[in-house]
Amino acid sequence: MIPLPLARIAEITSGALSGMADPRAVVRGPVVIDSRAVEPGSLFVAIKGARVDGHDYAAQAIRSGAVAVLATRPVEGPAVIVPDAAAALAELAAAQVAALPAVTVIGVTGSAGKTSTKDLLARLTARIGPTIAPVGSFNNELGHPLTVLRAGMDTRFMVLELAARNLGHIKDLTRIAPPRIGVVLNVGTAHLGVFGGKEAIAKAKGELVESLPRSGVAVLNADDPMVRGMASRTDARVTFFGRGESAAIRAEGVVVDVRGRASFTLRTPSGTAHVSLKLYGEHAVENALAAAAAGYELGLPVATIAKELSEATPASRWRMEVTDRADGVTVVNDAYNANPDSMRAAFEAFAVLGRGRRRFAVIAALRELGDEGPALNAELGRMAGGAGLAALIVAGPEAGPVLAGAHAVVRGATAPGPHQASPPGWQMPDGGVAPQGGPVQGAMPQGGPVPGPEHGVPPQGWQVPVQAGAPQWQAPVAGGPPGLAPSPDAGAPYPQATRIVHVPDAEAAAAELARWLRPGDAVLVKGPRAMGLERTAELVLGGAAQ
Going by C-alpha positions, the residue among 10, 35, 40, 45 that lies closest to residue 24 is 10
Q: Which fold has domain 317-415+494-546?
A: Protein-Tyrosine Phosphatase; Chain A (3.90.190)
Please tell us whether the domain made up of 100-311 is placed in CATH 3.40.50.1100: no
Beta-bridged to residue 272, according to DSSP, are 267
The model's pTM:
0.79
The answer to whether 468 is a known ligand-binding residue is: no
The answer to whether 115 is a known ligand-binding residue is: yes
Strand order in the sheet with 217-221: 131-132, 157-161, 104-109, 181-184, 217-221, 237-242, 249-256, 261-268, 271-280
In the chain, domain spans: 4-85, 100-311, 317-415+494-546
CB 540 within 8 A of CB 395: no
The one-character DSSP state at 427 is: B
The answer to whether 112 is a known ligand-binding residue is: yes
Largest Cα–Cα distance of the chain, in whole Å? 94
pLDDT tens for each residue of the chain, 546 residues long: 899 999 999 999 999 999 999 999 999 989 999 999 999 999 999 999 888 999 999 999 999 999 999 999 999 999 999 999 999 999 999 999 999 989 999 999 998 899 999 999 999 999 999 999 988 667 788 999 999 999 999 999 999 999 887 889 999 999 999 999 999 999 986 555 555 678 889 999 999 999 999 999 999 999 999 999 999 999 999 999 999 999 999 999 999 999 999 999 999 999 999 999 999 999 999 999 999 999 999 999 999 999 999 999 988 888 889 999 999 999 999 998 888 989 999 999 999 999 999 999 999 999 888 888 899 999 999 999 999 999 999 999 999 999 999 999 988 765 444 433 333 333 333 333 333 333 333 333 333 333 333 333 333 333 333 333 333 333 333 334 444 333 333 333 334 579 999 999 999 999 999 999 999 999 999 999 899 999 999 999 986 444
The answer to whether 116 is a known ligand-binding residue is: yes
Compute the chain's Rg from CA coordinates: 27
CB 6 within 8 A of CB 17: yes
What is the domain class of 4-85 according to CATH? alpha beta
CB 463 within 8 A of CB 444: yes
The answer to whether 487 is a known ligand-binding residue is: no
Number of neighbouring beta carbons within 10 Å of residue 359: 25
**Cα–Cα distance measured from residue 381 to residue 511, given in angstroms and rounded to the nearest whole number:** 22
Q: What helix, strand, coil percent values describe the chain, rounded to 5?
A: 35, 20, 45
